A and B are shown apart, each in its own frame.
Chain A
């Protein structure tokens, strides 16, 4: 059973960089066939896809966030990470890591989510 778990600070100051890590267990990031993604949900709102990384290291980001987002992978630790720079209160959200299947282009496994609040 694949499991994903987000970790990182729950409070970030405005203008700083939000950093989160997703640890994958029960499956290997290096196995291919999956988009390792970050998705966020503003409080009481809908879902916004942030970006993905493939095991090879190739990335694709939502154009609306592209200038501020970096996603990286550490296959030795079976982890992938999100960095979002120059955050504002508008970046306050629950951040999920998720596995997207290349076959279905749907997200079949999700982490539990972590609330990140941007506040001084």
Chain B
């Protein structure tokens, strides 16, 4: 099975900060990587698909990059609405879809 490892697990940041979250796959997944934002009690929201494509309606301060086994989600200027937990998700191989363990972005 492909394992997805996110780092850090928790990130403390201030409004306006540039924030980067990393996701590593245990084997190559080409560009089949998505990023989601989840707030407490809510369903995840798709932010980025195919590693770097911005989902419609998502602010441009969110961007994704990477291919193969290493990927990053960057928030260029953290806004109050961005404090949440972020998950990466791979699609490639058995068992098709797996998620990272999550990165919680907290207020510093």
Contacts and interface: CB of A to CB of B under 8 A. Distances in A.
Chain B associates with chain A: yes
B2 to A, nearest CB: 12
Interface residues of B, number: 24
Interface string A36-50: 010000000011110
A112 B43 contact: yes
A106 B43 contact: no
A106 B46 contact: yes
A49 B99 contact: yes
A48 B99 contact: yes
Contacts of B87: 46-47
Q: How large is the interface on A (under 10, 10 to 19, 20 to 34, 35 or more residues)?
A: 20 to 34
A110 B100 contact: no
A106 B49 contact: yes
Interface in A98-120: 98, 100-101, 104-108, 110-113
Contacts of A101: 49
A24 B57 CA distance: 21
B99 A47 contact: yes
Given A46-B100, A106-B89, A107-B34, 17 more contacts: A47-B44, A47-B89, A49-B96, A63-B95, A96-B43, A96-B44, A101-B49, A104-B34, A105-B34, A105-B49, A105-B97, A106-B34, A106-B55, A107-B36, A108-B46, A111-B43, A112-B42
